[in-house]
A and B are shown apart, each in its own frame.
Chain A
């Protein structure tokens, strides 16, 4: 386990990667022919995706596009029906343990052990990864400070607000200093200030050689924050590449709507527009 340097206020640094994204280094995440069916429904359909090491990668797509399913399979939570997934060259489903050490995960729609206090929960995540307790304690304090949760460290997570819960889950994902952070909807219901702080942390993480994958519905945010982006719909990748390539001159949101379709034109039904009959 990497020992954390006694930095005064820095995010746990990822295990050093010699020169980010040098060609001979395998991508942070490489997915080929990934498929997952739930009964009749094909959630992920022969999906290919390459996330270069050292990139800040945005994953966008409409509801039910298969983002969460893809990320679950990439992080060892859901067994694929077919396909290959590698993180930093490690085959995830052949070498689960090794792959898991490289990845930090924030899952959407998954419970936390919320009868623990914030400090206890992050400590628990660290200890489960096999880290030394002293290192865990030190990093937990750093993380809580970074995420503006210092005062909530002794509060049970069950009593947290939605945004605080997101942040403590993020701390759990980062405690073991992974090389790849996979974050499913990390900014949902997080306040603007905390959201900006989290972005700074993630930027710093990427600058120091780590890789971040975020899924989000907030197009503006992804366009500003991510250097790479993939648009996913119906279990397939519609477009992927650097953010500038994908948006091709227009805004990411317009490009997204153009690719995904389903935009309705008009101003809604007549009765919703008129204020005249709102009396009763």
Chain B
């Protein structure tokens, strides 16, 4: 049975790859990247064996504890990343709970992340090779640590399945956790800034962490190497009882989750109210705009883009602080405009087969395109203006305002034009409706990234005129160039948008059924 579950996991992975050779290529590229990373880690761990004992101890404990923590936190961040062997789907089969636990554990260890973690963990044996007794302990403790990782991760998944009451909880959690991920860049910058200080506190951190459930297993070999056998024994007990406690908690949570499947209390949105459908004009274009805007607020896949917006000035502010160049902050407006314009790039792919309604009702392609752009413009225009003016006020560089507005509106209008053409022509592998915004089919990232790069390149060419004018203005300090840039952006960008909507609409009118077939293939 255990072998069965493990086999099932690989079968599902393999079958999902067989559907598209390009996906396979993408996965191979991803695997090579991971392999490179793994080799670097292993080399680092072996080299660490030659460092002074104190350093080796601190680094292994802290890095190990971070790994365990990562495993435990990951399911909270990225629900639904690995649903290949989801317990909920196995509930109808008569599998004894203990067998299920064992099967899920083994399939977790044999996953990509599990294999990488295992290889790295067992390399610590080589790290401690200079102390034979410690190396033996490392072997045992690495096994315990890896199991703690996998079981801890499964435990949190099962526990959170019990906590969450279905759809809305899941969606809210997905969005909240998104914030630190966006801020990862600034956080890393801040950490590297403080790196020298961290080296100083590392031993202190390690001294505390080695007595905690997440660090104990990694600390045992070090304690043995240092001859502190008593400490090693206690740490070993902590590590072992952590694993046992995790297993017990997981078993309990799993049984509870399987017996009480999550369900969502129906959400009311005010009976009989039309929402945005009563606000926009009662035309097909207006209806598309109302629908799209409703989705911007209700669908986490869109809301994710909105959450990003306030984080951009924060991130740029960090960079400005570190570089001491306040002007960096002024890039906020154009960047937000660009991101928003390209966020409707996968619009039809997000609709998935619901797009059938547009085909069945015979809505004109141009009306479809324009409606989606209008929904975006409703908040993108004020946001762009407010952010641009706000940052200029903050940095007190009013002379660059017109040029910045020129670049921002050029990016917004031309970007929407490109999105309008592309979103109705290509179906991208994006999270399906109702799925976590983070879930991506294996290898989808590469295809999407490549096409996005092409779009960025195209967009760069489209906004050359207003950008050049604006830059001349920034350099010369003569505001007239800035105003010229803004004028060109509005006229040229507006023209682009008209062309993009018409062209994209014509493509949809002509290729609607083919587009639908592409969407169905992604279902």
Contacts and interface: CB of A to CB of B under 8 A. Distances in A.
Interface of A: 75-79, 96-97, 100-101, 103, 105, 107, 109-117, 119-120, 123-125, 127-130, 132-134, 136-137, 141, 151-156, 158-159, 172-173, 176
B357 A128 contact: yes
Contact of A114 (B264, B273, B354, B363): B354
B324 interface: no
B513 A111 contact: no
Given A77-B356, A77-B360, A116 B291 contact: yes
Contacts of A123: 274, 277, 287
Given A119-B274, A120-B275, A97 B359 contact: no
Given A120-B294, A152-B266, 16 more contacts: A77-B516, A97-B362, A110-B353, A110-B354, A111-B353, A114-B434, A119-B272, A127-B277, A128-B284, A128-B287, A129-B284, A129-B362, A134-B282, A136-B282, A153-B272, A156-B269
B8 to A, nearest CB: 23
B357 A112 contact: yes
B355 to A, nearest CB: 8
A75 B433 contact: no
The residue in A109, A113, A119 that gathers the most chain B C-beta atoms within 10 A of its C-beta is A113
A76 B284 contact: no
Contact of B270 (A124, A134, A154): A154
A137 B277 CA distance: 10
A172 to B, nearest CB: 7
A84 to B, nearest CB: 16
A114 B353 CA distance: 11
Contact of B354 (A77, A101, A112): A112
The residue in A96, A107, A116, A128 that gathers the most chain B C-beta atoms within 10 A of its C-beta is A128
A127 B286 contact: yes
B30 to A, nearest CB: 29
Interface string B252-284: 000000000000101111111111010000111
Given A79-B513, A137-B274, A172-B357, A154 B283 contact: no
A97 B508 CA distance: 13
Interface of B: 167, 264, 266-275, 277, 282-284, 286-288, 290-291, 294-295, 298-299, 351-354, 356-363, 433-434, 512-514, 516-517, 523
Nearest to B284: A128
A192 B70 CA distance: 51
The residue in A109, A141, A159 that gathers the most chain B C-beta atoms within 10 A of its C-beta is A159
Contacts of A176: 361
A92 B137 CA distance: 75
Nearest to B359: A77
A75 B356 CA distance: 10
Contacts of A79: 513-514
A151 B272 CA distance: 9
A97 B364 CA distance: 9
Contacts of B516: 77-78
Contacts of B286: 127
Contacts of B354: 110-114
19 contacts: A76-B513, A110-B353, A113-B351, A114-B354, A115-B298, A115-B299, A115-B433, A116-B294, A127-B277, A127-B284, A128-B361, A129-B363, A141-B272, A154-B268, A154-B269, A155-B268, A155-B269, A156-B298, A172-B357
B82 to A, nearest CB: 24
